[in-house]
A and B are shown apart, each in its own frame.
Chain A
């Protein structure tokens, strides 16, 4: 679900089309935008406090064969939430799990890891290398 929550709608559409998995489904809960109150910890590791809210969109779908898929994604993103819920539902069908894992989740996971590695690499390039200064006293 963490991977699906971060997937752009366009990528989800494309990957689902590539797998050829677009069964009919019904919306149990149409995409709905709302808020999550984000909490922090006092001092970084202490008791919780309310930092502020963020927008989220949730959706629940049901495919005809039964399984219910849920999604909560950040932002106001109806299509993204709906597609993420659909994949979540499809994943619960044992006949489909493997193909979806390999052809939808794995590529998305790789893209997300690449993006993170890219940013981590940029950060690493700004890491300070200290050089000891020669002092007058020897």
Chain B
């Protein structure tokens, strides 16, 4: 099929854009929304857009959300597009999450662990009742006073379990990790590339797949070994300096899912892990990512790979919401000629069927 160039519609498009801008602004009797307000008060939306846009910049993510009228996938698209206009100066040293300045840290497998269970600013224990007091424009917020004193170190739960040899150890890998923003996906994809794809993958898709593993499609009975959220320092080594410098902080959420593993001839029974790490305070995504990461390790661990979440190709080809939205929404574009040919085909088949009767 050939694409046929068609002209026209410029005026209609201009009018559509103008109306879009007006709709975005909404009723002018209400105050306009500032980007700073989005950045400060819609933090979880900002986190999601940064994670899936694969670009950590709170202000830009907030701008994208405003511009996209809160359509988060459209905002991710804007961020991804902007990213392509910037040069890449460097890659960071791997961030060290054991040195994270913890704002939240919980474990579902050990009650009393060094550093304790720190809830942080969680909504887990709210009643999910609409809070009508928020209808008031300027409801004051009272936070209990901070607790002073030295904070205990918080080793990762995975490091605690590892002392007994009951948990698989992390392994150092060779050289530079794969980068799917630079090289196209190739299969079999290594765990480095899989984690990169999941970290920027669609929250809904990754959540659904993670859920499917819990319901028995590639089931591994998982425990939330640890979830931690807080700030980590980013370090780079610029060529012109020749030494490592600390350039600032970013907020990350990390999840370690722990799963029983019955062992093989060479490996004793132990716990294996799925890993989740995402930009921002983004716990649901980090947990789902860890489940899917573990599911995709089926072949590596000698398990049968039968379920969608265990199918690396299926997961990686479909978890990116910009690719997905591009292909689904391209169906809106004119397919006039395509459809004409199908129409002729159906008419011909019908005529042939009638003639045969």
Which residues of A in the span 31-54 have a Cβ within 8 Å of any Cβ on B? Answer: 32-54
Q: How far is the CA of A69 from the CA of B159 in the complex (A)?
A: 40
Q: Which of A49, A53, A72, A128 touches B116 (beta carbons < 8 Å)?
A: A128
* Contact indicator A47/B249 (Cβ below 8 Å): no
* Contact indicator B279/A35 (Cβ below 8 Å): no
Residues on B with beta carbons closer than 8 Å to the beta carbon of A92? none
Q: Is A67 an interface residue (CB 8 A)?
A: no
* Contact indicator A45/B158 (Cβ below 8 Å): yes
Q: Is A1 an interface residue (CB 8 A)?
A: yes
Q: Is B330 an interface residue (CB 8 A)?
A: no
* Contact indicator A125/B248 (Cβ below 8 Å): no
Knowing A52-B56, A72-B236, A124-B149, the reply to whether A35 touches B83 (Cβ < 8 A) is yes
* Contact indicator B89/A120 (Cβ below 8 Å): no
Stretch of B10-18, B22-30, B237-245, B347-355 contacting A (4+ beta carbons < 8 Å): B237-245
Knowing A47-B192, A123-B120, the reply to whether A36 touches B236 (Cβ < 8 A) is yes
* Contact indicator B246/A2 (Cβ below 8 Å): yes
Stretch of A12-20, A73-81, A102-110 contacting B (4+ beta carbons < 8 Å): A73-81
Knowing A39-B91, A45-B98, the reply to whether A126 touches B119 (Cβ < 8 A) is yes
Knowing A58-B89, A74-B248, A123-B120, the reply to whether A53 touches B236 (Cβ < 8 A) is no
Stretch of B100-108, B132-140, B205-213, B308-316 contacting A (4+ beta carbons < 8 Å): B100-108
Give the size range of A's interface with the partner.
35 or more
Q: Which of A37, A39, A52, A124 touches B51 (beta carbons < 8 Å)?
A: A52
Residues on A with beta carbons closer than 8 Å to the beta carbon of B241? 70
Q: How far is the CA of A123 from the CA of B136 in the complex (A)?
A: 28
* Contact indicator B196/A51 (Cβ below 8 Å): yes
* Contact indicator B248/A5 (Cβ below 8 Å): yes
Q: Is A96 an interface residue (CB 8 A)?
A: no
27 residue pairs from A and B, CB less than 8 Å apart: A1-B246, A5-B246, A5-B248, A32-B87, A34-B88, A35-B87, A35-B89, A36-B90, A39-B94, A40-B95, A41-B97, A44-B254, A44-B275, A45-B98, A45-B170, A47-B170, A48-B176, A49-B177, A49-B191, A50-B91, A50-B196, A53-B55, A53-B56, A54-B234, A117-B148, A120-B102, A124-B147
- Using a CB–CB distance below 8 Å, which chain A residues touch chain B? 1-2, 5-6, 32-56, 58, 60, 70, 72-76, 116-128, 130
